[in-house]
Amino acid sequence: MSNSFQREQLCDGVHFSSVTDPKFKHNRITANLVIPLDRETVTDNAVVPFLLRKGCRSCPDFTRLNRKLYELYGASLACDVTKYGGCQSLDLSIYGVDDRFTLGGEEMVRPCAQLLTDILLDPAFADGVFPEKDVELERQQIIDVLESQINDKRFYAMSRCQSIMCEGEKIAIEKYGYIEDAHKITPASAADAYRRILRSAQIELLFVGCGNPATAKEIFRQAFSSVERAPVPVEPVHTRPRAEQVNEVTEQLDVAQSKLVLGFRTGGIGGDLKKLAAMRVMVALYGGTPNSRLFLHVREKQSLCYYCSARLNRLTGLMFVDSGVEKANKQKAYDEIMNQFRVMQRGEFTDDEITATKLLMQTSLNAVGDSLGAIDDWYMTQIMMGRACSPEEESAMIEAVTREEIVEAAGQVTLDTVYFLTGKEAE
């Protein structure tokens, strides 16, 4: 990426960030509304970006909004809900061609930024609430998403393991909320959620692409200068650094393939970038790549799992190993997963394994700059971590990790929860 990450505060609780690279022909402008996860409000919050995507006062229905996008050389709008540690982020973005590539020299950054601002700050309310028909559609969409997550047993098992590990903490709350609450969403409750979010969220505006971000920045500065706000600070997540004992939980559902998930605590890395890099390499070497210990030894050599991988959540400091197993192989799979972890703690891996793991990680980091969406995701994560490390800088830190640091990182990790999802016993 050609230009470094730039970030500045526009007003209280509103920041504007940019990364520009002339190799692209488009720009992506994203508004992230970040709020602490709350069990009581999370579901109403989750429906808001999908309702905002329906239109605004200047384009009050989906047809006119799409016509406007076509006029902007086929610009596109997207929305979603993201979870960062103990925070819920409601995301709205617009993607459009840069000014330099229009046929008649028309401006594109300005109208794209203005349209995103209108959608965010001037929704198409009917009598002060979202239209009933839109709410019905998006309420059902949220319900469908939540039901699909339950049907995806791999996702479900991972989610259940984290919920059990972090019971009573914000990070145990699901980003889309809960089905029983989704059925209760009304035009009024969604509108109340929107107003509450606009007033209290930390707002992160990101401009990524080849264009000049100054125009978009000024549009946002003017727009938010008249918005009455009382932003709530986003606090970093603090989870227990070590597990005092292992919690084992077995649940039964109608599943053909059992799921075994192990949740680990990684010792409280905090903001130490060197320790984080070592932990990331350790997790990748253990189970994060196709040549990892878990993949080669548990899945391939011993055929104990259909899949078996490890992942680190850098915002929470939690590591999970998830696997799909036959019920009869549960104990054997568990024993070998833990055996391979002890191999990591003893440092019984080769220099070639370390080199291959680093190369795969660096290849992935190099690919971040190939996509506007990936750049956007990368720097939003950096913002939530309270830093501004580029993929190139992280690649250098990965390269500098030593064998001793990998072993030290493994030594900090303790097993907290063993979750096993299996089929119901025959009656």
pLDDT band at 79 (very low <50, low <70, confident <90, very high): very high
pLDDT tens column, 203-253: 999 999 999 999 999 999 999 998 999 999 988 888 888 998 999 999 999
Q: How far apart are CA 412 and CA 345, in angstroms?
A: 9
- For the entire predicted model, the pTM comes to 0.93
pLDDT of residue 283: 98
- % of the chain beyond a pLDDT of 70: 99
**Average pLDDT rounded to a whole number, residues 66-95:** 96
CA–CA separation, 25 and 97 (whole Å): 6
Residues 10-34 pLDDT 10s: 999 999 999 999 999 999 999 999 9
Ordered structural domains, the chain, with CATH: 6-225 (3.30.830.10), 247-423 (3.30.830.10)
Of the chain, the percentage scoring pLDDT greater than 90 comes to 91
Distance CA(147)–CA(174), nearest Å, equals: 13
pLDDT of residue 414: 97
The owner of tokens 């490390």 is 389
Task: Specify the pLDDT at position 427.
Answer: 42
pLDDT averaged over every residue in the chain: 95
Compute the average pLDDT of residues 165-190: 96
Does 402 have pLDDT greater than 50? yes
Copy the structure tokens of residue 61.
């229905």
Average pLDDT over residues 183-197: 98
SS3 content of the chain, % helix, strand, coil (to 5): 45, 20, 30
Question: First-to-last CA distance in the chain?
Answer: 60
Spatial separation of the C-alpha atoms in residues 266 and 283, rounded to whole Å: 10
Please name which of 107, 114, 90 lies closest in space to residue 216, comparing C-alpha atoms: 114
Cα atoms in the 13 Å half-sphere on the side-chain side of 377? 13
Residue 422 confidence (pLDDT) above 60: yes
Quote the pLDDT of residue 240: 87
What pLDDT score was predicted for residue 2?
53
Secondary structure (H, E, C), 222-282? HHHHCCCCCCCCCCCCCCCCCCCCCEEEEEEECCCCEEEEEEEECCCCCCCHHHHHHHHHH
Mean pLDDT of 343-369: 97
Does the pLDDT value for residue 269 go beyond 50? yes
Supply the pLDDT for residue 3: 59
Task: For residues 297-321, give the mean pLDDT.
Answer: 95
Q: Express each pLDDT in 105-130 by its tens digit.
A: 899 999 999 999 999 999 999 999 99
